[in-house]
Chains A and B, each alone.
Chain A
Amino acid sequence: DAGITQSPRHKVTETGTPVTLRCHQTENHRYMYWYRQDPGHGLRLIHYSYGVKDTDKGEVSDGYSVSRSKTEDFLLTLESATSSQTSVYFCAISRDRESGELFFGEGSRLTVL
């Protein structure tokens, strides 16, 4: 299994509170991604990173920010959580930019009350 650890795995929080999800990899892959998965929508890209301090927006980036200060860590922050951000969040990594092969973490289940 690819060495990807997501934390926390489960979190319940209240509307308006900040939340940070962490993705840690031990594969030294350059590319990292945050996706959210919701029923009926599949996986949707939030943000991605193509190197340390290099990040860009995905399809559903509103309300989310990211940071990558080290190759191995990619943080996803919800500055002020809303109920619409209740979802399962997946981190993924890739060794290249075009193979289509992403290795996913186990997911972080976030509930915003």
Chain B
Amino acid sequence: QKEVEQDPGPLSVPEGAIVSLNCTYSNSAFQYFMWYRQYSRKGPELLMYTYSSGNKEDGRFTAQVDKSSKYISLFIRDSQPSDSATYLCALTAGGYNKLIFGAGTRLAVHP
């Protein structure tokens, strides 16, 4: 069993839709939870960062962590074609930023 499971998609939605992206994990030692966005043939870039359980909002993006269920989510409101990318969840138990990444979900937002 992988430490982090993420549905690879692809997920195709119309512009303006609310998008929900999710990861589940097995290691209860994970304390730091990140979402990275990766455009085609580019390196990933950090989108959201949360520590422990709870919600964090940044503009159209909301990251949610439920440690009791070992489940993390990223919500995108009013999705735009520019949001079309692969979204990777990343987790770490701390120390040296040794991130464990999910496989990534490919999102396509069509006009």
Interface residues of A (CB under 8 A from B): 4, 31, 33, 35, 40-45, 48, 50, 56, 58-59, 90, 92, 94, 96-107
Contacts and interface: CB of A to CB of B under 8 A. Distances in A.
Nearest to B88: A42
Contacts of A106: 41-43
Given A40-B8, A99-B49, A101-B49, A33 B97 contact: yes
Rank and list the top 9 A-B pairs by shortest CB-CB distance, nearest first: A104-B43, A42-B101, A43-B101, A42-B103, A100-B34, A100-B32, A94-B97, A97-B96, A101-B46
Contacts of A48: 96-98
A97 to B, nearest CB: 5
Nearest to A97: B96
Contacts of B90: 43, 100
A106 B94 CA distance: 25
A82 B48 CA distance: 36
Interface of B: 4, 6, 8, 32-34, 41-46, 49, 88, 90, 92, 94-104
Contacts of B32: 98, 100
Contacts of B101: 35, 42-44
Contacts of A99: 49, 97
Contacts of A92: 43
B53 to A, nearest CB: 16
A102 B102 contact: no
Contacts of B96: 31, 48, 50, 56, 97-98
Contacts of A104: 43-45
Given A31-B96, A97-B96, A40 B43 contact: no
B98 A98 contact: no
Given A42-B88, A101-B49, A107 B43 contact: yes
A73 B65 CA distance: 36
Nearest to B90: A100
Nearest to A96: B97
Nearest to A38: B103
B27 to A, nearest CB: 13
A43 B100 CA distance: 8
